[in-house]
Every structure is written in C-alpha cells, then in structure tokens.
Structure 1
Amino acid sequence: MIGEIILVGLIIIGLIGRSPIISTAACLLLIVKLVNLERYLPAIERRGLELGLLFLTFSVLVPFASGRVQMREITAALTSWPGWLALAGGAAATYINGKGLEMLKFDPQLVVGLVIGSIFGIVFLRGIPVGPLMAAGITAILYKLFRLIADHL
C-alpha cells in the first residue's frame, strides 16, 4: 500500500513540476502494481537501466545512422579544441559512471537518496534525468572529497 501512495505522490510531483518522465514512469509502475504484475518488478529494476541507456544511445546515434553527420564534421570535431574537450568529457563521464556503479554495488541504499535528489533536481532545478549512474558517480566524487576534507580536519 505504501508503494502505491509513493507512486501517486510521484505522479503528482511530476505533474506539478512539469516532468512528464517522472509522471510517466510512476504511472507505468503503478499500473504494473495494480494489475498484479509485481513479479516483473525485479526484472524491470535489473534491466530497466540497461534499456534506458540503450534507448538513450539510440537517440544519440541517430544522426550517424541517418547520414546527418558527415565525415568532415567528425574530422572537425576530432581536430578542434571543443572536440577534444568533448572527448575528455565523454571519457570522464564514463569513468564517473563506473565509480557510481561501484558505489551502488557497495551501498545500494543510496538509491533512495539518488531518487529523491533526482526528483528534486527535475522538479525544482528544471534538470533532465540522465540516469542514476551519473548521480551515483557524482555522489562518489562528493563522498571522496568529503572524506578527504574530513580526514584533514
């Protein structure tokens, strides 16, 4: 019963905050619960992130598949300083995501804070939910920074 109440609350928060992604996700999970398909929740939890990342990657790669990105644009991106910064940013993001995954495996209860923080960011800061791995990666960096500062005090 508490799960359904939380999902309804998330639907309302998503509607008030004009975040269709939160509202839709909460609605779909509520439907899964209400039609007694709860046995699929572990599979959704286990594979949902992978499917989300797959579709995110699809959307990023569509310009390549459709031919909108030409070889000269790729060359220009790889030979300019903004292109090099983008390469560094992509490499750093994947590294940070890996650290986030390690942190989630080490302390899975962090998911609650990540979800609430993500909802806060979406609703109040007009952010875009790009995934719990990045949020966990940033948390891992903040945690190491906090430990470094705390150890020197």
Structure 2
Amino acid sequence: MSFFQFNAAAAMLIFLIILGYFSHNNSIIISAAVLLLMQQTPLERHIPWLEKYGLHIGITVLTIGVLSPLVSGKIKLDGIGSLLFNWKMILAIVVGIFVAWLGGRGVTLMSAHPSIITGLLIGTIAGVAFFKGVPVGPLIAAGMLSLILSRFN
C-alpha cells in the first residue's frame, strides 16, 4: 500500500478540510481529517462501524451538551411550571417538536441516499462561510430536503 491512496473519497475529504478551514468550521475539519487518516491507515477497517453507529453517538454527545446546563445549574427547574404557560415557551416546544421530526426525516433520507450527505455538508459550510450561519444543520437540512423531494415523488 502506498503512503497515500489518492481516490475520489480522499479528494472530497481534502476539499471538505479546505472548505472547513475557510469557513472556520472546526467540526468539519476534524471530522474530515480523522476520516482521511482512517482511510489512509489500517484504521480503515473501523469505518463501517463508524458508519453504522457514528450518527447515534454524535446525537448522544450533542444531547449531553444540550442537557448539561440543567446539571450545572444554569437552568433552574424550580420555576419551570410557570414557564410552560408562557407563549414563547409553548412556541419553543412546538418548534422543537417540528425540528426533531425534520431531523428524523433527515436521518431516513441520508440513510437511503448517502450521496446527498456531501451536498448537504457543502451547503452547510457555504452557509457558514458566506452567510454568517452556524453549522448545526445537516440533519435538519436533510429533513427539509426530504419534504421538498417528497413533493416531486
């Protein structure tokens, strides 16, 4: 095996690293660099495991990060009852439900059509780089895309 196997996947990962650098998206840089390193070493045999469980592990880590303010005390639970009847809280709950549903559609779409993931990542990175966006949405973007695509099927 040569030191570096140049193929389409390696080229795409390098492209994502470059896009991540210019858009200041460390998550993309780290993710693409780890996968490139894995692809180019004997660690390649673990990529199917990551493919199978990586999304679920990532969602779990994200959920831990979102819930941590409860444990740290930044969110007080003693007044939560009165907040539940606030119109902003009710709207936040409805939007949260909608976004979770979109994310579920996104997982389904990305599982059924993995080639779409690259476009979603490039779009997310472009949104960060050129429109001052925040890189939180490939799953939600996939969910929105699935809604759009379902109108054409």
2:50 to 37, 44, 48: 44
1:142 and 2:148 matched: yes
User: Deviation at 1:58?
Assistant: 0.8
Contact kept in structure 1, 2:16 and 2:122, CA below 8 Å: no
Q: Quote the Cα distance in structure 2 between the aligned partners of 1:77 and 1:46.
A: 39
2:70 to 60, 64, 71: 64
Contact kept in structure 1, 2:23 and 2:125, CA below 8 Å: no
Q: Quote the Cα distance in structure 1 between the aligned partners of 2:67 and 2:125.
A: 27
- Find the counterpart in structure 2 of residue 99 from structure 1: 105
AA paired with 2:125? Answer: I
How many aligned positions are there?
147
Contact kept in structure 1, 2:25 and 2:125, CA below 8 Å: no
Determine helix, strand or coil for the equivalent of 1:129. Answer: coil
**Structure with higher helix content:** 1
Q: Quote the Cα distance in structure 2 between the aligned partners of 1:15 and 1:114.
A: 17
Contact kept in structure 1, 2:20 and 2:29, CA below 8 Å: yes
Q: Quote the Cα distance in structure 2 between the aligned partners of 1:11 and 1:111.
A: 15
- Find the counterpart in structure 1 of residue 124 from structure 2: 118
Q: Quote the Cα distance in structure 2 between the aligned partners of 1:33 and 1:103.
A: 25
- Is there any run of 5+ residues in structure 2 with no aligned partner, and where? 1-5
Determine helix, strand or coil for the equivalent of 1:37. Answer: helix
Identical residues among aligned pairs (%): 33
Cα 1:58–1:118 change in 2 (3 A) is same
TM-score, normalised by the number of residues in structure 2? 0.82
